[in-house]
Structure 1
Amino acid sequence: MRPMLATAADRPPAGREWVHEVKWDGMRVLVDVRDGRVSVTSRTERDVTAAFPELDGLAGTYEDLLLDGEVVALEDGLPSFHALTERMHVTKRRQAERLAGTRPVTLMVFDLLRLFGQDLTGQPWTARRRLLVELDLAGRAWQVPQVHDDGAALLQVTADEGLEGVVSKRRSARYLPGRRSPDWRKVAHRRTYSVVVGGWRAEAGSGASSAGRLGAVLVGLPDGAGGWRYAGRVGSGLAGSAGTALLRRLRRDESDTPPFSDVVPRPDADGTTWVEPRVVVEVRTLMLTADHRLRQPTYLGVRSDLDPAELQEVPHGG
């Protein structure tokens, strides 16, 4: 099963039929608890159980339940996607257990999809929420955050506290697995985008691109016709191990031609090694210009929970 997704909005909807939650800067997951075992899957149905051993304790809560939520990592008291990248790509359990001591994660649970074998997705949000609260899930690595009636007020609070934004949900909404619904709406403060990598350039002065360090990546956004529009060059945030790990992935997908549907300016194209558009990364940017270019973008991390096909649906981030 894939999780239900929210549509982007300019402001939270008003009215008694809506409820509002904090939008966390993390990784969306479904957590399946059954027969004393816990299984964690990403938005793309990838098994990420090994990456988050902190969630094993959910096996001791109830015999059978399926939870929807977001895994977050805190940095200076606030959720940070950049910090989470240290955890979300780990595939070896022993390594994840070591990292859990220095970079712990927390599961923010916001929906209940199955309980004691009963499918709850056809029930309205109010019924699912009531059951979720009654479960009284509270642990060292998981919690059920509060919901709020005033979306505008919550939006201001999240802005003041440096949080990502607000997700608003219609109280009567059923859960639609894998679908993006106007019954869920998201408003984000920070301009972050999920983009596809189409090429890379070596760090200036590091020698031939085949042997050099990663200096920048060339990225794209959906062009509306099934292809990719060039969105600019991203160099900030790629120093050290972050760039080394990304370059290792990109070298598997090198190509002779650029994947973009428009022409890449010569200053950016010269010296670029093109790659197949298979790796999705998250970037933060000052703005997206009128010609769909990222202004002063910073690399945050690889989005292994997204594949390029999902970006064709939604050009503005995860």
Structure 2
Amino acid sequence: MRDPHTFIAPMLAVTVPHPFDDVQWRYEIKWDGYRCQIHWTDHLQIFSRKGESLLRQFPDLSDVAKVLDRPVILDGELIAWENGKPSFSALQRRHVGEHRVIVFDCLYAEGEWLLTKPLKTRLEYLNNVVSTQGKIVVADGVVEQGMALWKAAREHGLEGVMAKHLNSPYLPGKRVRTWQKFLVMNRQWAVVPIISEAEDGQWMWWVSGDNAGGHVMTKLLAPKNWNVDVSSLVREKRGTDIVWRLPCPIDVEVEYRELTAEGKMRHGRIRQWRTSN
């Protein structure tokens, strides 16, 4: 028998490349924040994805207890709201008062564990035990219209869409295909003027907005089919890093999730590249 006071490893989704429509699936906005789990028993606990207390980092979340009136365990996402949309950068700054918890699943309610029940049943419990108020927002969703929701997410600059099969049970700690996510990704051409060596001997490309490498937007592992002889390259020191300057910068197209306020690419990956002349 599980203890309602104890953290439950969250269920995870697989990433798929394309949105789809299906009458057996529910679609929700994927919020760009920190996964969290709310336990309201004889006291409030809010856990991170790894089971650490988020109340220590975000003490204003203690206000969540004001809108809960019965023992419950909720799965959700902690976000920070800035300029009309969620901001991961604002969340990292931990400004008091900007935080909301988007709750999208109910794991325990009315003295009963709900993990083996289908998602559609858990959602009924969710809407019975909590409502949107204070720092809690109950997630909206649509059935079947996954492509339309993904297009709306892209138009509004949101992270993407979660797709969940309505009959899926909750499998703690498992990454399963009955939960899927399709992300809104951005693409940008930039240059790689300097490189460094990673601990495992692979080359790191320093992706920059200029040939001098003055503003480094991200550092990515070089493609496996790329190599270089550094004996003829200019060696420099950047902070604590030893780097080499390339005689001809590499043009690179990077796919990334978000450009931060500091101009850094989050979750970037190389799509294609070519050597500049």
Q: Distance in 2 between matches of 1:123 and 1:231?
A: 46
Contact 2:63 2:134 in 1 (8 A): no
> Cα distance, 1:11 vs. partner?
2.0
Task: Output the TM-score relative to the length of structure 2.
Answer: 0.68
Contact 1:165 1:187 in 2 (8 A): yes
> Cα distance, 1:235 vs. partner?
6.9
Q: Distance in 2 between matches of 1:124 and 1:300?
A: 37
Kindly indicate whether residue 22 of structure 2 is the aligned counterpart of residue 15 of structure 1.
Answer: yes
Kindly indicate whether residue 73 of structure 2 is the aligned counterpart of residue 66 of structure 1.
Answer: yes
How many pairs are equivalent?
224
Tell me which of 27, 47, 54 is aligned to 2:53: 47
Equivalent in the alignment of 2:41:
34
> Cα distance, 1:14 vs. partner?
2.2
**Could you list the per-position Cα deviations for residues 3-45 of structure 1 after superposition, in whole angstroms to 9, with x for gaps in the alignment?**
111111122232211110001111111111111x211111111
Contact 2:75 2:106 in 1 (8 A): yes
Counterpart secondary structure, 1:126: helix
For the structure 1 residues 168 and 229, does the alpha-carbon distance in structure 2 shift closer, same or farther, using more than 3 Å as the test? farther
Question: Identity of paired residues, percent?
Answer: 28
Q: Equivalences for 1:1-318 in 2 at 5 Å?
A: 1-35=8-42, 37-60=43-66, 61-87=68-94, 99-101=95-97, 104-149=98-143, 150-191=145-186, 230=203, 232-233=205-206, 266=230, 270-271=236-237, 273=240, 287-288=254-255, 298-299=263-264
Contact 1:38 1:55 in 2 (8 A): no
Equivalent in the alignment of 1:292:
none
Runs of 5+ consecutive residues of structure 1 not aligned to the other structure: 88-98, 193-215, 221-226, 237-258, 275-284, 290-296, 302-310
> Cα distance, 1:219 vs. partner?
9.9
Q: Distance in 1 between matches of 2:197 and 2:38?
A: 32
Contact 2:185 2:255 in 1 (8 A): no
> Cα distance, 1:115 vs. partner?
1.2
For the structure 1 residues 300 and 191, does the alpha-carbon distance in structure 2 shift closer, same or farther, using more than 3 Å as the test? same
Q: Distance in 1 between matches of 2:237 and 2:206?
A: 13
Q: Which amino acid aligns with 1:299?
A: K
For the structure 1 residues 187 and 231, does the alpha-carbon distance in structure 2 shift closer, same or farther, using more than 3 Å as the test? farther
Counterpart secondary structure, 1:82: helix
Runs of 5+ consecutive residues of structure 2 not aligned to the other structure: 1-7, 188-193, 210-220, 242-251, 257-261, 271-277
Contact 2:109 2:129 in 1 (8 A): no
Q: Larger % of helix: which? A: 1
- Please identify runs of 4+ aligned residues in structure 1 that moved more than 6 A: 216-220, 262-265
Q: Distance in 2 between matches of 1:264 and 1:167?
A: 41
Q: Distance in 1 between matches of 2:234 and 2:134?
A: 47
Counterpart secondary structure, 1:159: helix
Larger Cα Rg: Structure 1 or Structure 2?
A: 2
Q: Larger % of strand: which? A: 2
Task: Output the TM-score relative to the length of structure 1.
Answer: 0.60
Counterpart secondary structure, 1:127: helix
> Cα distance, 1:59 vs. partner?
2.3
Q: CA RMSD in A?
A: 3.7
For the structure 1 residues 190 and 74, does the alpha-carbon distance in structure 2 shift closer, same or farther, using more than 3 Å as the test? farther
Contact 1:31 1:38 in 2 (8 A): yes
Contact 1:54 1:141 in 2 (8 A): no
For the structure 1 residues 24 and 229, does the alpha-carbon distance in structure 2 shift closer, same or farther, using more than 3 Å as the test? farther
Q: Distance in 1 between matches of 2:25 and 2:83?
A: 31
For the structure 1 residues 59 and 75, does the alpha-carbon distance in structure 2 shift closer, same or farther, using more than 3 Å as the test? closer
For the structure 1 residues 16 and 44, does the alpha-carbon distance in structure 2 shift closer, same or farther, using more than 3 Å as the test? same
